[in-house]
Amino acid sequence: MSVNVWKPSSLPPPAVWLDGQQVALPDGATGSLPGICTELENLAASRQRVLSGVWVDGTPAELVPDQGAACPFQRVEAQSISLAELSRRLAGETRSLVRELRWAVERAVLGVLINEPTSNRLRWHGFQTELREVLARMDMLRDLWGARLGELSAGGHDLDTHLEELGRIAGHIELLLLKPEAEAQPAAMLLSNVFERNLAPWLRRLEDFLGDLYERNLE
């Protein structure tokens, strides 16, 4: 005796929208969310744009669990922005990060004089983490602007020269933090001086540079 096993019919592929218009993706590209996102990124790039957000049935894509599984959803919507908009947004956000970091460095000018050496090392490590984030964003801006980014002045110097100066400042700080405990107080005074006269002004010049970049049109 044969037994008929019921199998649910496969779900239809999800509807995919980009910038308010429904788009048709290649066959097989709608099998998973990563595949859909890749096709949307390629489509946006062909229009000289980049994706700024993706939603799955109204939920931000980054909150969707198990993205590699077969698509159990019905609608994927994406928004894109132009490269000029991306540059402006990135410059503005990076400028805000630099400003917050500068304020923290300015507060540390007095703080390092009363803190233990271990606390000062931890504070500097925190600054280094934030500086790496800033530099990563500067690399993204360089990718967008190319050689034109070097034509702008950062405190009277081109951008590369300004960024190289950070390496010298960081090296000086590292040497001060390696001082033995017996020299902790003189080292703290020198560290405070470097924060006040070197690192904070360096950040201020970069902040001004990003403000200038924010006002410029990439296109």
pLDDT of amino acid 10? 61
Degrees (nearest 5) of the Cα angle 96, 98, 101? 110
Alpha-carbon torsion 185, 189, 191, 195, what sign? positive
pLDDT of amino acid 147? 84
Distance between start and end Cα atoms, the chain: 72
Q: Which token pair is 20?
A: 């308010």
Q: Which token pair is 96?
A: 């805000």
Among 73, 93, 117, the domain boundary falls at 73
Question: In terms of residue numbers, what domain contains 59?
Answer: 15-73
Q: Are 67 and 33 in contact (CB under 8 A)?
A: yes
Q: Are 49 and 81 in contact (CB under 8 A)?
A: yes
pLDDT, tens only, 103-154: 999 999 999 999 998 999 999 999 999 999 999 999 999 999 988 888 888 8
pLDDT of amino acid 2? 45
Residue 69 shares a structural domain with residue 152 = no
Q: Which token pair is 97?
A: 């990060």
Residue 100 shares a structural domain with residue 63 = no
Q: Give the residue-averaged pLDDT of 16-33.
A: 86
Indicate the pLDDT class of residue 7, thresholds 50, 70 and 90: very low
Among 50, 73, 96, the domain boundary falls at 73
Indicate the pLDDT class of residue 44, thresholds 50, 70 and 90: very high
Fill in the DSSP letter of residue 115.
S
Q: Which residues pair with 85 in a beta bridge?
A: none
Residue 136 shares a structural domain with residue 172 = yes
Residue 69 shares a structural domain with residue 144 = no
Q: Are 50 and 81 in contact (CB under 8 A)?
A: yes
Residue 16 has pLDDT above 80, yes or no: yes
In a domain, 98, yes or no: yes
Residue 8 has pLDDT above 50, yes or no: no
Q: Are 32 and 56 in contact (CB under 8 A)?
A: no
Whole-model pTM? 0.82
In a domain, 121, yes or no: yes
pLDDT of amino acid 199? 98
pLDDT, tens only, 159-175: 999 999 999 999 999 99
Fill in the DSSP letter of residue 63.
G
Residue 121 shares a structural domain with residue 50 = no
In a domain, 79, yes or no: no
Counted domains in the chain: 2
